[in-house]
Amino acid sequence: MVSFDVTELPPADPPARGESAPEFVRPLVGAEYWENAALSELAETGPVVLVFYPMDGAFPATYMWTEIRDRGWGADADATVVGVSISTPYEHGAFIDRYDLEYRLFSDPANGVAERYGVVHDLDGMAGVTEPRPAVVLVDGDRTVRYTWAAEEWPEFPPYDETEDAIAEL
């Protein structure tokens, strides 16, 4: 049980298990630089966990990435774990630095990737701003979706154990 009121989100429409995950290219930000990267490029080296999350600075962003960091996702190279948010490369750089993340984050200010993945969240009280809702899409080396989760409430956090099981099953 959560101790605060949660808001229900309209239905999400993420790609289903077995479907091909939509391809995209966006600046992928690491600790030292950013460059354009394609999902298919990341998938060439194995499974990819796409973590859609709210803008850097919002508390769910902090909760999600410190949890993922503390759980050591991707540390044994079983999957490449990357984030997707609307924050700019500069904000991603500061966020990575602040929380000592060894993950790279896609910068998608126009929210097109979340749109293509059916996980958009139109923010109440922030006119004209839309971002991804928390969501997880696990794709294998062929870019086939193997696991999907999308928040149905706001805020709601990814089922970390379930995601780890899905990665382990690959």
Unique residue bearing structure tokens 């706001």: 154
Asked if 89 interacts with other proteins (CB under 8 A), we say: yes
CA distance 97 to 74: 18
**Shortest gap between Cβ of 128 and other proteins (angstroms)?**
24
* Cis amide bond preceding 22, omega within 30: no
Asked if 40 interacts with other proteins (CB under 8 A), we say: yes
- Nearer of residues 35 and 122 to other proteins, judged by Cβ: 35
- Nearer of residues 101 and 151 to other proteins, judged by Cβ: 101
Of 90-109, binders to other proteins (CB under 8 A) are 93
Contact at 8 Å (CB) between 114 and 131? yes
- Give the one residue of 6, 10, 33, 102 binding other proteins; rule: CB under 8 A: 33
Question: By CB neighbour count within 10 A (0-12 exposed, 13-18 middle, 19+ buried), where does 118 fall?
Answer: middle
Cα 14 from chain centroid (whole Å) = 12
DSSP 155: S
Asked if 20 interacts with other proteins (CB under 8 A), we say: no
Token pair listed for 85: 């948010």
Asked if 145 interacts with other proteins (CB under 8 A), we say: no
**Shortest gap between Cβ of 99 and other proteins (angstroms)?**
17
- Nearer of residues 40 and 62 to other proteins, judged by Cβ: 40
- Nearer of residues 38 and 110 to other proteins, judged by Cβ: 38
Asked if 7 interacts with other proteins (CB under 8 A), we say: no
CA distance 55 to 85: 6
**Which residue ranges make up the site for other proteins (CB under 8 A)?**
25, 27, 32-38, 40-41, 89, 93
